[in-house]
């Protein structure tokens, strides 16, 4: 009995060893070997195994990213180590809304537009209509805007935002703490050399009082998911600040959405004067920047390189604060603005202002059009909107005065039911 028990035990041991050896041999010669990260980079799973679920998304990235395209790009990195997954994360985390187009992607450096070109080019062409071989024009001559005075009865204020990035540095979504600190020191030195009407003061964000922060619309921490999900809010507010001149009409925001964002604004409708001041401020800053051996990133195809492809080209946002009480409640407004290549925003407005028909209008086309032509287009569009508003004030039908192609006809609806 003992002999049989020992034999049975030894047989089980031999069987177990055989199973183990067979498994190891199968894993060694027939199964997929463990991924060697040093040799092949990070592990690449099958496309659909790591492909994001974009079925409910309303951004442009979701329209063009396919499993095959994702698989062909996800193993690539830029010179600063930025990956496709980092670039699209902002679009994955934010579903978007149908009435406001978002790119759904962010560049971590200027090389992102080259390394991930198949995806970026498709997004750029859909949003801007700018094809891969098209060149971007540049014209900053403010004297060419001869009809830049808008009716101040309807145009309450004007804001111009110009974004810029410095060559050789990662953009905010892909930069390190040390890079952000270096950029702040460099930009601070340049700003302190500005003189004349642009001489002013630089303040880190952490030093702003609550009242001053509110007047500049600066939250203690970014609230927009487009900023937080893209990685541009890391270590906030360290190495970020705002420069403003003595009369507070020229501002420079440092290390926020982009390396630099220049802002000029004025009360009333003199768009030509505000643009002229912005051009002079940019020129003064660029002169001092070149003395430090640095320059803005410019590309003949994409214009000024910035983080979001929506702002490529002129990187100029022209925003006017208008009061269009009758037109704001017209259901056709959305299509009218689309025909004029404008968008409206209500961020920062009180409920009373919104009910009074006050809104912000800004240009949507920045690539493939020069700065001067962009200003002209917006001036013409705003003047046309004011004409429509006057017709509605007099009880006239605006159907025949609407832009072509015809926009959908609908009944007037309540302003607070419209999307922003």
* Tens digits of residue pLDDT in 80-117: 999 999 999 999 999 887 777 899 999 999 999 999 99
Fold of 44-128: Transferase Creatine Kinase; Chain A, domain 1 (1.10.135)
pLDDT in the model for residue 259:
98
Higher pLDDT, residue 146 or 328: 328
Q: Is 319 annotated as a binding residue?
A: yes
pLDDT at position 412: 43
**How many Cα neighbours within 13 Å face the side chain of 183?**
28
Specify the 3-state DSSP secondary structure of 219: coil
pLDDT for 26: 59
What mean pLDDT is reported for the chain?
A: 87
> Annotated binding residue at 348?
yes
Question: What is the pLDDT averaged over residues 310-331?
Answer: 93
Q: What is the pLDDT of residue 334?
A: 87
Say if residue 347 carries a ligand binding annotation: yes
Evaluate whether 84 touches 74 at the Cβ level (below 8 Å). yes
Map tokens 């892909």 to a residue.
174
Residue 420 has pLDDT above 50, yes or no: no
Residue 345, pLDDT score:
84
| CA-wise closest residue to 278 among 315, 332, 304, 230 | 315
350 annotated to a ligand binding site: yes
CA angle 360, 266, 222 (to 5 degrees): 55
Residue 108 annotated as binding site: no
User: What's the pLDDT band for 215 if we cut at 50, 70, 90?
Assistant: low
- pLDDT tens for 339-350 read 888 988 887 778
Above 90 in pLDDT, residue 309?
Answer: yes
Domain with CATH 1.10.135.10 in the chain: 44-128
CA of 120: how far to CAs of 96, 116, 190, 289, 308, in Å?
A: 18, 6, 32, 29, 10
> Is 410 known as a binding-site position?
no
Phi-psi region of 178 (alpha: psi -120 to 50; beta: other; left: phi over 0): alpha
Domain spanning 142-216+225-401, CATH architecture: 2-Layer Sandwich (3.30)
Contacts of 404 (CB under 8 A, 6+ apart): 339
CA-CA-CA-CA torsion sign (352, 153, 100, 257): negative
Q: With a cut of 90, say whether residue 16 has pLDDT above it.
A: no
The reply to whether 97 sits in an annotated binding site is no
**Cα separation, 206 vs 254, whole angstroms:** 13
Q: What is the pLDDT of residues 387-414, one digit of tens each?
A: 999 999 999 988 888 886 545 544 444 4
Interatomic CA distance for residues 400 and 393, integer angstroms: 16
Q: Does the annotation list 346 as a binding residue?
A: yes
Residue 174 CA, distance from chain mean position: 14
> Which H helix or E strand runs over 280?
helix 271-291
Residue 298 three-state SS: strand
Ligand-binding site membership of 317 (annotated): yes
Could you tell me if 323 and 275 are in contact, meaning their C-beta atoms sit under 8 angstroms apart? no
Give span(s): CATH 3.30.590.10, the chain.
142-216+225-401
- Distance in angstroms (rounded) separating the CA atoms of residues 260 and 258: 5
Distance separating alpha carbons of residues 96 and 383, to the nearest angstrom = 31
- By the 10 Å C-beta count (0-12 exposed, 13-18 middle, 19+ buried), 156 is classed as middle
* Residue 345 annotated as binding site: yes
What separation in angstroms does the CA of 116 have from each of 210, 287, 303?
41, 33, 18
């Amino acid at each position: 009995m003992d002999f049989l028990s020992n034999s049975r035990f030894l047989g089980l041991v031999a069987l177990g060893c055989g199973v183990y050896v067979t498994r190891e041999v199968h894993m060694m010669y027939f199964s997929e070997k463990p991924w060697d990260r040093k040799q092949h980079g990070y592990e690449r799973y099958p496309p659909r195994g790591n492909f994001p679920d974009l079925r409910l998304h309303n951004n442009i990235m979701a329209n063009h990213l396919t499993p095959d395209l994702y698989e062909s790009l996800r193993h690539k990195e830029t010179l600063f180590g930025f990956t496709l997954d980092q670039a699209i994360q902002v679009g994955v985390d934010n579903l978007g809304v149908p009435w406001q187009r978002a790119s759904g992607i962010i560049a971590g450096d200027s090389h992102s537009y080259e390394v991930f070109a198949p995806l970026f080019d498709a997004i750029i062409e859909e949003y801007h209509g700018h094809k891969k071989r098209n060149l971007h024009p540049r014209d900053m001559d403010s004297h060419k805007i001869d009809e830049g005075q808008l009716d101040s009865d309807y145009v309450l204020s004007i804001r111009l935002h110009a974004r810029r990035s410095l060559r050789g540095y990662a953009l905010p979504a892909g930069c390190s703490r040390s890079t952000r600190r270096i950029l702040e020191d460099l930009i601070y030195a340049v700003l302190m050399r500005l003189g004349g009407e642009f001489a002013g003061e630089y303040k880190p964000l952490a030093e702003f009082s609550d009242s001053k922060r509110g007047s500049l619309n600066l939250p203690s921490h970014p609230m927009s998911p487009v900023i937080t999900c893209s990685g541009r809010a890391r270590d906030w507010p360290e190495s970020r600040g705002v420069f403003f001149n003595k009369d507070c009409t020229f501002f420079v925001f440092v290390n926020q959405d982009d390396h630099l964002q220049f802002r000029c604004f004025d009360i009333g409708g003199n768009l030509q004067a505000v643009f002229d001041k912005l051009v002079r401020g940019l020129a003064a800053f660029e002169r001092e920047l070149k003395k430090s051996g640095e320059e803005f990133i410019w590309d003949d195809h994409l214009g000024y390189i910035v983080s979001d492809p929506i702002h490529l080209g002129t990187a100029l946002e022209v925003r006017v604060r208008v009061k269009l009480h009758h037109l704001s409640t017209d259901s056709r407004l959305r299509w009218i603005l689309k025909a004029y290549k404008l968008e409206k925003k209500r961020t920062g407005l009180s409920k009373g202002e919104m009910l009074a028909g006050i809104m912000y209008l800004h240009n949507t086309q920045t690539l493939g059009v020069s700065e001067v032509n962009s200003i002209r287009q917006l001036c013409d569009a705003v003047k046309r909107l004011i004409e429509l508003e006057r017709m509605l004030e007099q009880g006239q039908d605006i159907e025949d005065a609407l832009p072509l192609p015809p926009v959908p006809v609908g009944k007037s609806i309540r302003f607070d039911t419209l999307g922003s």
